[in-house]
Amino acid sequence: MNDELAYFNEDASEQLQMMESALLDAMDQGANSEYIGTIFRAMHTIKGIAGMFSFDEIISFTHIAENLMDAVRNGEIELDEDLLILLLQCKDHVAHLVNFAVASEEVPSDVLEKDAQLKKVIGEYLQIPQTQSSSTSSLLEPTQKSTIWNIEIILKESFFQTGMDMLSILSFMKKMGTIESITPHVDNIPALAEINPLYAYLSFSIVFLAHVAQSEIEEVFEFVEDDVELQISKDEEEDGVFFVDDDEIEGVVFVDENPVLKEQPSEGVEKKGTVPQKRSQQKTLSQSLRVDSSKIDLLIDTISEMVITNAKIAAYVDQYNDAELEEVSMQFESLLDELRNNVMNIRMVPVGDSFEKLRRVVSDVAHKLEKKINFTIIGGDTELDKTVVEKIADPLLHMLRNAIDHGIEIPKVRKEIGKPEMGQVTLKAYPDSGSIVIEIEDDGKGLSKDFILEKAISKGIVNASAELSDNEVFQLIFEPGFSTAEVISDISGRGVGMDVVRKNIEALKGDVELFSEVGVGSRFTIRLPLTLAIIDGFLFQVGKTKYIIPLDMVSEVVEYEIHHRISVLDGNLFDLRGTLLPLLNVREFYKESECYQCERQNIIIVQYGRNKMGLLVDELYGEYQTVIKPLGELFSYAPGLYGASILGSGEIALIFDIPSLFEILNTNKGE
């Protein structure tokens, strides 16, 4: 897909998503002018951008849908539930058309059939109030009330490199109105020997007859606005043709031969009516900028290298005790810190948009299963790395389907057992010690531990004699081949579900847990890392090796003293103010032969989710800006390691993977 198509795709998808949200909101809370406006704009905008690419099917369909919405906007048609459902179908249909257009595929016959069918239904709606609808359908057939526009288009040198073809733009203009004349200006074109054929040297004068406002013509050039100079003016010699915009002027008609008098009122009204609105819309548009995410990755890479370079300077400062340089280096470090945070922030997007998409699924599945669901989203403004947000959508979708299909009971049953008929499903996101937590909670029938255990044993997932904690039993549902569905439905899977869910989440360096209570409901808790490339770390040393832990996971550090020591079997516990916590002796664990500054040892207490553990280490160095570099294949089996970082001295520090250390500790305990 080329860049422009990708933009088109992104833009159209965004508009469709906004349309869907508005439709669902209108279903929940009743229609209002804001929702209607959003739906109208979605169809209008998609029509406009499809025009740039001459996607005729999309143009023709969105045009009709736009007319329908225009009639709704004018209060001629009521936006009732039937119409909302029809519009949802229209939205889906346009999404299909967009997909085919983007893939440059022919639209298959069944989709064309759907196209015709939807158009017919919309046509029926539009026929009822015939009064004004003719005024709304000016796109394809210009009426005699058109304005004559003089348009000068000067292509900037860069124009061809936008990938947009001027011919597509012209052919779209032909659909908006009539190109009375077009004159190319070729004087600036150099001779063959001098021409850079990739540069544009052309300009055009166009006389354009159409029943449109200036802003609508400007919109046609929206995609190339930086690469053309555009001058649009109304024809002063507009003899016999007068402009009445029935959207903006009520009961005012001018018939006057004096062009000055004629111009002023109509233009004045038009400018007041539409232009300022559009302007403010453009303003918000220009505030956001689409950037290829790989460019940001590149930026992060460069910052990473700068962090390492600065660490080298810091090491030099240490060595030569240069106070002035130290100050510069520290200043530089804090600037780098700021820069890093700002760049990271570019990648961060609120999870809300992605969550909103799931509302449709919930609504569809609930309808299909005849269940009543109140779906609540909490913490939609929590921010997460864009790639993580994209990749988490599928697992969430699956878990939500499961919650509705297997969790929530049908209304009749719920009434019988004294629950409200309306089932509650909550999707919640919040930050928690260096991670982002996403929870899916339902108040359905819950899962019985015995049932899970029995099933797991029958499927050979666990040994019948195994002694498992409650928590461990719940986690069995994430094992491959485990499915709790008594009847396989087309809503949630065939036992291929939860293990794939877990795998996808683990691929993002996250994890997932289930907690459930019979009759009360279930809760899935997903924990995801906040960022992927540079972290604030905590640097320490054990034996000859330096290690780093993500600083957010360090809850406290204490000196290891005699009273901490607890003698149990293999001594892997310690006493922290009366609480027993597991203790990992890092030196033993990685078989370091000697200790470093053995007279004093320290315990770093790390926290992950509800779990805490201590790491027994030698020397502490404190906070350290850490660039995460992946470890080579050779280390892929090294337990508990996430990656490595290059220190200023050129040494390597290993970065601990705390979640997997907890896992190792749990397994060891089991043995």
Partner 1 sequence: MKLEFDLLSIDNIDALKVKFLEYISEENSTITLDLSEVNKIDLCAIQLLLSLQKTLDMQNRELFIENCTQSVQDALYLCGCETLLGCNNE
List contacts with partner 1 (CB under 8 A): 160, 165-167, 170-171, 174, 181-184, 186, 189-193, 195, 197-198, 200-202, 204
Q: Which is nearer to partner 1, 174 or 279 (CB)?
A: 174
- Rounded least distance, CB 49 to partner 1, Å: 19
- What is the C-alpha to C-alpha distance for residues 95 and 8, in angstroms, rounded to an integer? 12
In the bound state with partner 1, the residue whose beta carbon lies nearer, of 165 and 499, is 165
What are the b/e assignments for 195-205, b being 16+ CB within 10 Å?
eeeeebbbbbe
Nearer to partner 1, 207 or 377 (CB): 207
Cα–Cα distance for residue pair 600/584, rounded to 1 Å? 17
> Which SS3 state, helix, strand or coil, does residue 525 take?
strand
Measure Cα distances from 469 to 482, 501, 670 in Å: 18, 22, 10
**For partner 1, the closer CB: 200 or 452:** 200
Decide whether 164 or 365 has the Cβ nearer to partner 1: 164
Task: Please state the closest distance from residue 194 (CB atom) to partner 1, in A.
Answer: 9
Between 202 and 468, whose beta carbon lies closer to partner 1? 202
Q: Burial level of 12, CB count in 10 A (0-12/13-18/19+)?
A: buried
Q: Give the pairing of strands 534-542 and 511-517.
A: unpaired
**How many Å apart are CA 91 and CA 40, to the nearest integer?**
11
Strands 611-617 and 579-585: parallel
State the minimum distance, in angstroms, from the CB of residue 61 to partner 1.
Answer: 24
Q: Is the dihedral of CA 321, 323, 327, 332 positive or negative?
A: negative
Q: In the numeric block, which tokens belong to residue 157?
A: 């040198």
Least Å distance, CB 142 to partner 1, is: 17
* Residue 174 or 600 having the CB closest to partner 1: 174
Three-state secondary-structure class, residue 327: helix
The SS3 assignment for 642 reads strand
User: Nearer Cβ to partner 1, position 69 or 220?
Assistant: 220
Report in angstroms how near the CB of residue 202 gets to partner 1 at its nearest: 6
Nearer to partner 1, 180 or 499 (CB): 180
Considering the complex, state which of residue 221 and residue 608 has its C-beta at the smaller distance from partner 1. Answer: 221
Rounded least distance, CB 195 to partner 1, Å:
5
For the residues of 60-101, what is the DSSP string, one character each? HHHHHHHHHHHHHHTTSS---HHHHHHHHHHHHHHHHHHHHH
Neighbouring residues of 584: CB distance < 8 A, sequence distance ≥ 6:
572, 613, 614, 615, 616, 661, 665
Task: Give the nearest distance from C-beta 291 to partner 1 in angstroms.
Answer: 24
Helix/strand/coil for 15: helix
| SS3 (DSSP) at 269 | helix
| Shortest Å distance, C-beta 153 to partner 1 | 10
> Hey, CA dihedral for 145, 51, 213, 137, is it positive or negative?
positive
Q: Min. distance of Cβ 146 from partner 1 in angstroms?
A: 20
Q: What's the closest the beta carbon of residue 210 comes to partner 1, in angstroms?
A: 16
Nearest to partner 1 of 75, 190 (CB atom): 190
In 3D space, the residue among 349, 358, 412, 406 whose CA is nearest the CA of residue 381 turns out to be 349
Q: Considering the complex, what minimum distance in angstroms separates the CB of residue 167 from partner 1?
A: 5
Cβ pair 16, 61 in contact under 8 A: no
The residue length of the chain stands at 671
